[in-house]
Amino acid sequence: METFEADYSKYDFKNSTDYDVTFEKGLSEDVVKRISKLKGEPDWMLEFRLNAFKFFMKRPVPQWGGDLSKIDFNDLTYYLKPIKDRAKAWDELPKEIKDTYDKLGIPEAEKKFLSGVEVMYESESVYSSVKKELEDLGVIFCDTDTALKKYPELVKKYIGRVISQNDNKFAALNSAVWSGGSFIYVPKGVKVPMPLQAYFRINAESMGQFERTLIIADEGADVTYIEGCSSPIYSKNSLHAAVVEIIAHKNSHVKYITIQNWSSDVYNLVTKRAFAYQNAYVEWIDANTGALLTEKYPSVYMLEPGAKANILSVALANRNQHQDTGAKAIHLAPDTSSTIRSKSICLNGGRTSYRGLVKVGKGATGVKTSTKCDALILDKESRTDTYPYMEISEEDATVSHEASVGKIGDEQLLYLESRGIPEQEAINMIVLGFMGEFIKELPLEFAVEFNRLITLNMEGAVG
Amino acid sequence: MVDELLVKDLDVSVNGIRILDGVSLDINTGEVHVLMGPNGSGKSTLSNTIIGNPKYKVERGKILFNGKDLLKMKPDERVKEGIFMSFQEPVEIPGVSIFNLMRTAYLKSGGSTSELSAFRSRVSSLMSQLGFQESFMNRSVNEGFSGGEKKRFEVLQMMVLKPRMAILDEVDSGLDIDTLKIIGSMVKEASKSMGMLIITHYDRILEYVKPDFVHIMKDGRIVSTGGMEIVSEIKEKGYNYYK
Ligand SMILES: Nc1ncnc2c1ncn2[C@@H]1O[C@H](COP(=O)(O)OP(=O)(O)O)[C@@H](O)[C@H]1O
Ligand SMILES: [Mg+2]
């Protein structure tokens, strides 16, 4: 396993950043007020935060999923501002921050195949850009703080509409102390040709990152958003508690792709939900590697006829990692359809759990929904479970559920070896093949990166 | 150069049960050996042992290739030495495309990235000779293949990997006459430049490839060795004739 830790080096580098603003550890109403004041927010947002803080304090730590008992909310830093002013060009960034993103390959990717980029370092966005043609069409892509300043009406209209401050303990926490995140608005009929990308980076130790992402696709709009996340390894735990809300209006299409690769000391507790209106199509492509514990179940609420959801959840749990992931498809209108696919791999004692909910509400007739969960378990120490929940209130719903747990077959290994491929590479090929369905959904550059991540994790999987 | 595969006094067991009992064979470049015998007599056990399937435990005896001890090598190392085995029942590998497999195998056998496109056209041309469409390259290895496709794909891999010693385990089973013709003539062509062990139940493929030696296996032992005349003998008398 040393090999794995060593090869994590692309992500595991720390910078000694001189922060512009640093909060002491711990959470209180005062911390919430100071964050809001520092950002110069309108009163309604302060209210929003303070309300959320009350909910957070009232709600117990959830018991149903992974082990959250070791999170010490008073041993986290809730706000760290890296630089005074956001950069408009990569060169304006302080060297150590620019280096971070260079190492991760973001500026390079921007040049080649992205419509816009947004990067966040600790609590704040540090760089943001969107192609001029798109700006001219009225596309907004910036960090959520900037959106609150420049487009307060839009933010006020939509924030918390999909995920209320009281939705769950971590959504409440996010609502109280949120900072950064992406804001996207695509006007009626505009189709964004290339993906918009955000990259979230935790650099400091015992950091809480609480980005808030809000994506609004107006009627007939089309947008693909990609988010990458990473952090270096510390011995103390960090917390990533994000909230992502998507509003997909009539006939729109939103595709949201995440590849998360947190270090194995991060609690990754994220609430992601979309509202899909008439004939809208929402896709969550969600891959989780790394992290001590992930709890994440991207959801689509199909609120009007013809809405569609496609959720692909991918998890890889290596040593000391627990990926509790899944999906929710909530059918609340007739003729809505959903597909859920889950692919998980566990090795070296890692644990994956699929947790999903398929709900067909009263009056939602003609629903079609299918769920398929495939788990691959690489050794005896590892564990995988499925917890599929169903609440079906209309009899004519077409509901299917399939689950499989597989091992890498000795015969598959021998077959590849008998073509001259060494065992380790044969394992990689089989694992990547298993993930093939997911990899196909990614733009090429991300597919390459994801292959690399998987391959790194597989090192030392033999023997 | 002449390559020699030498199997000497081989005893092999699976799950503690003895399957092969003192098997010996000596195959040289340019020779075609045919191994026949009833179901369950141990033919596939022999081929699996030669390639290094870890399920098959060698209790006694040797397998040498040009004097090198294959039993000390992992399967992929044996392949590097020049051994090839086609599987009687090739396994499906979902999500691994044929081209990915071929390309990786090519690079592992010392092929260079700069010649990858030349390699690709060589594969294409072999594929069309074997009656595959170009789109076949994108399919997952053996997934949903018909019986004939599986066998043709095994032969394709042999042609692509250019081994020095090939063991073909029932590569002619369940084929229609046209497919048999394609495979038969390809195997014949290949047999000129390598040593070959053909495991088969039928004499149909022997219309294309003329064997130099025919061996009969029963209950894990080679009970008879000779030339083409043995094939007609089996046809006439059946395997029960051999003790
Ligand atoms: N992997 C295995 N596990 C258990 N028994 C096996 C295995 N492989 C072969 N055998 C047994 O060994 C004997 C020989 O089988 P095999 O070599 O496949 O014969 P053939 O190829 O001549 O039909 C049979 O009795 C078969 O059941
Ligand atoms: Mg057999």
- Please report the pLDDT score of residue A10 as a whole number: 63
What ligand is nearest to the CA atom of residue A414?
Answer: 1
What ligand is nearest to the CA atom of residue B171?
Answer: 2
Confidence of residue A234 (pLDDT cuts 50, 70, 90): low
- Please report the pLDDT score of residue B162 as a whole number: 94
The count of structural domains within chain A is: 1
All residues at 6 or more sequence positions from A160 whose CB lies less than 8 Å from its CB, including other chains: A48, A175, A245
pLDDT at A439 over 90: no
- Please report the pLDDT score of residue A2 as a whole number: 25
Confidence of residue A3 (pLDDT cuts 50, 70, 90): very low
Confidence of residue A45 (pLDDT cuts 50, 70, 90): very high
Spell out a b/e string for A88-104, using b for 16 or more CB atoms within 10 Å of the CB, else e: eebeebbeebbebbeeb
pLDDT at A339 over 80: yes
Q: List the beta bridge partners of residue A305.
A: none
- Please report the pLDDT score of residue A229 as a whole number: 78
- Please report the pLDDT score of residue A202 as a whole number: 81
Distance of CA B220 from the midpoint of ligand 1 (Å): 10
Ligand 1: residues with CB < 6 A are B 14-15, 19, 37, 39-45, 55
From B44, B56, B197, mutation site for ligand 1 pocket: most ligand atoms within 8 A of C-beta: B44
pTM: 0.83
Residue from B44, B50, B104 whose CB has the most chain A CBs within 10 Å, to mutate = B104
A86 in any annotated domain? yes
Q: What is the mean pLDDT of residues B25-29?
A: 97
pLDDT at A442 over 90: no
Average pLDDT, chain A: 90
A441 in any annotated domain? no
Whole-number Å distance between alpha carbons of B28 and B66? 10
Domain ranges of chain B: 4-241
Confidence of residue A36 (pLDDT cuts 50, 70, 90): very high
* Top CATH class, B4-241: alpha beta
Q: What is the mean pLDDT of residues A216-241?
A: 87
Whole-number Å distance between alpha carbons of A315 and A298? 13
A455 in any annotated domain? no
Of B51, B95, B141, the CB nearest to A418: B51
A425 in any annotated domain? no
Query: Helix or strand or coil: residue B47?
Result: helix
Inter-chain CB proximity B76 and A430 less than 8 Å = no
Condensed to tens digits (0 to 9), the pLDDT of residues B126-173 reads 999 999 999 999 999 999 999 999 999 999 999 999 999 999 999 998
- Please report the pLDDT score of residue A9 as a whole number: 56
Confidence of residue A462 (pLDDT cuts 50, 70, 90): low
Inter-chain CB proximity B108 and A414 less than 8 Å = no
Nearest to B32 by CA among B235, B242, B194: B194
What percentage of chain B reaches a pLDDT higher than 90? 86
- Please report the pLDDT score of residue A262 as a whole number: 85
Any B CB within 8 A of A411 CB: yes
Ligand 1 atom 13, closest CA: B40
- Please report the pLDDT score of residue B188 as a whole number: 95
| Cα–Cα distances in angstroms (integers) from residue B191 to residues B9, B186, B208, B211, B213, in the given order | 26, 9, 11, 10, 13
**Token couple for A163:** 């995920």
Q: What is the mean pLDDT of residues A362-381?
A: 96
Helical segments of chain B, H only? 43-51, 75-81, 98-108, 116-129, 147-161, 177-191, 229-237
Condensed to tens digits (0 to 9), the pLDDT of residues A262-274 reads 888 899 999 999 9
Which residue range is the domain that position A278 belongs to?
12-420
Chain A contacts in chain B segment 202-241 (CB below 8 A)? none
A161 in any annotated domain? yes
ipTM confidence score: 0.97
Condensed to tens digits (0 to 9), the pLDDT of residues A120-174 reads 888 888 887 888 889 999 999 999 999 999 999 999 999 999 999 999 999 999 9
SS3 for chain A is CHHHHHHHHHCCCCCCCCCCEECCECCCHHHHHHHHHHCCCCHHHHHHHHHHHHHHHHCCCCCCCCCCCCCCHHHCECCEECCCCCECCHHHCCHHHHHHHHHHCHHHHHHHHCCEEEEEECCEEEEEEECHHHHHCCCEEEEHHHHHHHCHHHHHHHCCCCCCCCCCHHHHHHHHHCCCCEEEEECCCCECCCCEEEEEECCCCCEEECCEEEEEECCCCEEEEEEEEECCCCCCCEEECCEEEEEECCCCEEEEEEEEEECCCEEEEEEEEEEECCCCEEEEEEEEEECCEEEECCEEEECCCCCEEEEEEEEEECCCCEEEEEEEEEECCCCCEEEEEEEEEECCCCEEEEEEEEEECCCCCCCEEEEEEEEEECCCCCEEEEEEEEEECCCCCEEEEEEEEECCCHHHHHHHHCCCCCHHHHHHHHHHHHCHHHHCCCCHHHHHHHHHHHHHHHCCCCC
Of B52, B74, B104, the CB nearest to A425: B104
**Sheet with A337-346, side-by-side order of all strands:** A124-130, A116-121, A196-201, A222-230, A253-262, A281-290, A308-317, A337-346, A368-377, A398-406
Average pLDDT, chain B: 94
**Token couple for A319:** 């040593």
Inter-chain CB proximity A418 and B161 less than 8 Å = no
Q: What is the mean pLDDT of residues A78-86?
A: 86
B15 burial class (0-12, 13-18, 19+ CB within 10 angstroms)? exposed
